[in-house]
Amino acid sequence: MKDYLNYKDKVAVVTGASSGMGKATAEVLVNLGAKVYALDWNECDVKGIESYVHVDLSKKDSIDEAMKKLPSKIDTFFGIAGVSGAKNDFVSTVTIDLIANKYIVENYLTNMMEKGGSIAFMTSTAGNGWQLSDNKDIYKEVVEAKDWDKTLEALNKTGFQYLPGTLGYPFAKLAMNYYTVYIQKIFGPMGIRVNAVLPGSTDTGMKDEFEKMAGGEASLLSHCGYAQRLADSIEMALPIIFLNSDMATYASGVLMEVDYGNTSEEVAGLRDPGQTISLTAIQKMMASKK
Ligand SMILES: NC(=O)c1ccc[n+]([C@@H]2O[C@H](COP(=O)([O-])OP(=O)(O)OC[C@H]3O[C@@H](n4cnc5c(N)ncnc54)[C@H](O)[C@@H]3O)[C@@H](O)[C@H]2O)c1
């Protein structure tokens, strides 16, 4: 039988591999014969991985230390780690969910990956509306800033740094959706594909935090399309594994919403999107309160 996915003996790096979607991804990749390097700040107990590498993605030095422990060549990268913002401030939420991915990409993956490689991020449908100038006008400078310090400087320039971590979450996810497209121009010419999965509500380590933020389970379920249930971690792991596999060699720049039709119905005007995020409106509101 032909192995269409073709992960056998590939070096796969998975961030957030100790829980939820990242853990499910690591487990499947091990089953497919990949050499899995699991990055997380919690120990990873997935059987059969090559190694667990401790990292705190909110800290540049910790990322540098972790990257030294990986093989010099990576075939496929899964940027899955994240926080909801419920237990973090705005800056650390954006650092873990956006800036860490950006730093790893720009300082390491550009040198550690070759033609035929693949990168995929687990972003979110909380970043829907990323293409609207209402949002892009605010996050673009942060995304396009050149290094770790300049990115933090750009973030501080938005004036958003005093907002709660729970607003850092959509900020980071809007920016990550844009970033997935923005770096096509770096990786496209190198023959490396970059994609993202945008999960809807999923039953993971974050579920209780999201449920509280949404004001209860019913509110979370109202964004689950016709599924009428939350997704399981494996239902996000399999699509991201598909995107990074040889089953998708002509797929790049894909932002794959995995929310049982919810987003596409909203875009088509067939479902009320409820309150959509506008970073410009938030900035105006902050200015009026000064
Ligand atoms: N659960 C959902 O409903 C949902 C919806 C959309 C998007 N997402 C995204 O999916 C991704 C995976 O999250 P999950 O839902 O599986 O949650 P999870 O909490 O189960 O897993 C997140 C993982 O990231 C790790 N992590 C967090 N901060 C870290 C840090 N500073 N350094 C290193 N590791 C760190 C955690 O230890 C954990 O293993 C996240 O990016 C999240 O934003 C989740």
For residue 4, being part of any structural domain is answered with no
pLDDT tens-digit series, residues 194-232? 999 999 999 999 999 999 998 898 888 988 989 999 999
Report pLDDT for 69. Answer: 98
Nearest CA to ligand 1 atom 36: 16
Residues within a 6 A CB radius of ligand 1: 16, 18-22, 40-42, 55-58, 80-83, 96, 122, 124, 199, 201-202, 204-206, 210, 233
For residue 6, being part of any structural domain is answered with no
Give me the domain span that covers residue 63. Answer: 11-288
Mapped onto helix, strand or coil, the DSSP state of residue 14 is strand
Q: What is the CATH number of the domain that holds 153?
A: 3.40.50.720
Closest to 155 (Cα-Cα) out of 168, 173, 170? 168
The total number of structural domains that make up the chain: 1
For residue 28, being part of any structural domain is answered with yes
Q: Residue 190 pLDDT > 80, yes or no?
A: yes
For residue 1, being part of any structural domain is answered with no
For residue 226, being part of any structural domain is answered with yes
For residue 3, being part of any structural domain is answered with no
Q: If you average pLDDT over residues 169-180, what whole number do you get?
A: 98
Q: By percentage, how much of the chain surpasses pLDDT 90? A: 92
For residue 110, being part of any structural domain is answered with yes
To test the pocket of ligand 1, the residue of 27, 40, 234, 263 to mutate (highest count of ligand atoms within 8 Å of its CB) is 40
To test the pocket of ligand 1, the residue of 13, 15, 19 to mutate (highest count of ligand atoms within 8 Å of its CB) is 19
> CA 78, 81, 85 angle in degrees (round to 5)?
150
**Sheet strands (E) in 88-221:** 118-122, 193-199, 202-203
* Confidence band, pLDDT 50/70/90 cuts, at residue 288: confident
Q: Are 99 and 176 in contact (CB under 8 A)?
A: no
Report pLDDT for 287. Answer: 86
For residue 176, being part of any structural domain is answered with yes
Q: Where are the alpha helices (DSSP H) in 7-161?
A: 20-31, 60-68, 90-94, 100-104, 110-112, 133-144, 148-157
Q: Residue 114 pLDDT > 90, yes or no?
A: yes
Backbone torsions φ then ψ of 40, nearest 5 degrees: -170, 165
